[in-house]
Amino acid sequence: MTKTVTLSIDAMGGDSAPDMVVEGMALALKEIPDIRFLLFGQTEKLIPLLEKNPKVADACELRHADDVVSNDEKPGIALRSGRQSSMRLAINAVGSGEADGVVSAGNTGALMAMAKFVLKTLPGIDRPAIASLLPTMRGECVMLDMGANIQCDAENLVQFAVMGEVFARHVLHIPKPSIGILNVGTEVLKGNDSVKQAAAILSQTHLPIDFYGFVEGDAIGQGTVDVIVTDGFTGNVALKTVEGTAKLFAGALRQELVSSIFGRIGA
Amino acid sequence: MTKTVTLSIDAMGGDSAPDMVVEGMALALKEIPDIRFLLFGQTEKLIPLLEKNPKVADACELRHADDVVSNDEKPGIALRSGRQSSMRLAINAVGSGEADGVVSAGNTGALMAMAKFVLKTLPGIDRPAIASLLPTMRGECVMLDMGANIQCDAENLVQFAVMGEVFARHVLHIPKPSIGILNVGTEVLKGNDSVKQAAAILSQTHLPIDFYGFVEGDAIGQGTVDVIVTDGFTGNVALKTVEGTAKLFAGALRQELVSSIFGRIGA
């Protein structure tokens, strides 16, 4: 038996907020019926939405927040002036222990800055990272960092590896996840100093982890490892490259299907 | 009227050499009938292949080279000990003016090192770069560097931009190619120091170039710009990520088609 999870939600974050946020809560409820929400945002906008979604309303405690962090606000400014924002109050609820986690589709930089300031990082972890699940031929892998840390040293990469390993065990339910560091080749001598040193640390460690070694970009689609570790610059470019390639493929496929249909009509 | 181009060919480079190399020459002859080759490699292996490909034999001057640079040879070793290799002799032919360009499918690191040593770089260009053509929704784009330079400063990136621009004009026949620098966002404040400084230089320059600004990873598939500039680490990861995603898609599509065929048979 697992205990009921309470999530703190920033209702105002994201391009289609708050409508999309409430829709997302409804989807989450279908998958995890006993989940509970603390919903932070402008009550005048949220009350009509909750009236239309009685199941969400039942699972949710609404708390008013006047301010909204906009998408183009600099993280430092948001941290100083956004103390009454829905994002900040949602994060505070995790800090006070009222919620087990926080969800926001808003300004990523502001979210990282506020979360680091309010919640700190765990002992031994210097910087938070953004993790993303990616589809592979074998299922899914988790990749981090996806853009929170543009420049990373070996220590950062090692810490991302540890966080990714824990994520894969607890969220993906993989008993002993394999970990790879993204590089330009699989040989130990390849790459920049950060990846070489990080690989040396992860290879020599007595931690009970399954370190695979270096992987190349095609490991993302192939599912060579369960956890892919990289700096935020490379990770962000790789993630958006996957998106772009997928769209290119989908577009080409659609065109093929249309020509094939017209071809059949012609015939 | 264009003058006849003579290409110097390393017959022994690549996993399926020399058979695949001679096949490639046959394909090139179909597209450019008046092309000429200087073919460097082990004559005892090449003579039987040329006998089977009389068109290639007619277009080609065969020159014996005893040595072969292996795929796992370190660039520095290949440079010192590979003076009689097919790769080195093929490069030398460009240096002496006998050939207009050199083609090798062999050890990339050795090829870069030898080419830089024998041919030098053009004035104002510090390092050679590897360029690759990538499919986009609008056609093709050229991206560089793909892995020759793992760490790059702003000057390197600016030089890659200049080389990419010239390549796109002369090889892709784009009159005024647009140039983008790969980054984690399109805003001027995003990214590491190298990309920010390179963008500042390319924006302020009086060079007659069309500098678009920063592009993200999805610009590769979308064809947002004609030339994508990046460091060799990010470029290599992005290239292999495209390959991996394409394979993932092709695999999923094949599976869908198979199920759909079995579905129809079942029906």
Cα–Cα distance measured from residue B174 to residue B168, given in angstroms and rounded to the nearest whole number: 6
For A:194-223, CB contacts with B below 8 A are: 216-222
**CB pair distance less than 8 Å for B245 and A242:** yes
- Of B104, B124, A193, A210, the closest CA to residue B115 belongs to B104
β-strands A139-144, A131-136: how paired? antiparallel
Most A CBs within 10 A among B130, B190, B215, B218, hence the mutation to make, goes to B218
- The nearest alpha carbon in chain B to A234 belongs to B234
Q: Give contacts of B112 with chain A, Cβ < 8 Å.
A: none
Tell me: ipTM over 0.85.
no
Q: Identity (one letter) of the amino acid at A171?
A: V
pLDDT of A1:
45
Neighbours of B16 (CB within 10 A): 10
Most B CBs within 10 A among A220, A234, A237, A247, hence the mutation to make, goes to A237
pTM for this model (two decimals): 0.86
Cα–Cα distance measured from residue B226 to residue B238, given in angstroms and rounded to the nearest whole number: 16
- Of B29, B257, A235, the closest CA to residue B265 belongs to B257
Q: Is A232 on the interface with B (CB under 8 A)?
A: yes
Q: Is B242 on the interface with A (CB under 8 A)?
A: yes
| All structural domains of chain A | 6-119 (3.40.718.10), 131-241 (3.40.50.10750)
Residue B123 neighbours by CB under 8 Å, 6+ apart: none
pLDDT of A163:
96
Q: Is A236 on the interface with B (CB under 8 A)?
A: yes
Q: Does residue A157 have a pLDDT over 70?
A: yes
Q: Give contacts of A137 with chain B, Cβ < 8 Å.
A: 247-248, 251
Phi and psi for B146 in degrees, rounded to 5?
-100, 10
A210-251 per-position pLDDT tens digit: 999 999 999 999 999 999 999 999 999 999 999 999 888 888
Average pLDDT of the segment spanning B59-85: 94
**CB pair distance less than 8 Å for A243 and B217:** yes
Cα–Cα distance measured from residue A137 to residue A123, given in angstroms and rounded to the nearest whole number: 35
B200-228 per-position pLDDT tens digit: 999 987 778 999 999 999 999 999 999 99
Q: Does residue A13 have a pLDDT over 60?
A: yes
Q: Does residue A152 have a pLDDT over 70?
A: yes
Q: Is A71 on the interface with B (CB under 8 A)?
A: no
Average pLDDT of the segment spanning A59-79: 93
Residue A23 neighbours by CB under 8 Å, 6+ apart: none
Alpha helices of chain B — where are they, by DSSP H?
Answer: 19-31, 43-52, 54-58, 75-81, 86-95, 108-119, 154-170, 193-204, 219-222, 232-266
- Of B96, B125, B102, the closest CA to residue B115 belongs to B102
Find residue B8's DSSP bridge partners: B38, B102
pLDDT of A261:
65
Q: What six digits make up the tokens of A104?
A: 């926001």
Output B252 or B132, whichever has higher pLDDT. B132
Helix or strand (DSSP H, E) at B182: strand B178-182
- The nearest alpha carbon in chain B to A240 belongs to B217
Neighbours of A144 (CB within 10 A): 25
β-strands A227-229, A36-41: how paired? unpaired
Instruction: Map residue A33 onto helix, strand or coil.
Output: coil
Residue A212 and residue A225 in contact, taking contact as beta carbons nearer than 8 Å = yes
Backbone Cα Rg of chain B: 21
**CB pair distance less than 8 Å for B137 and A248:** yes
Q: Give contacts of A232 with chain B, Cβ < 8 Å.
A: 184
Q: Is A136 on the interface with B (CB under 8 A)?
A: yes
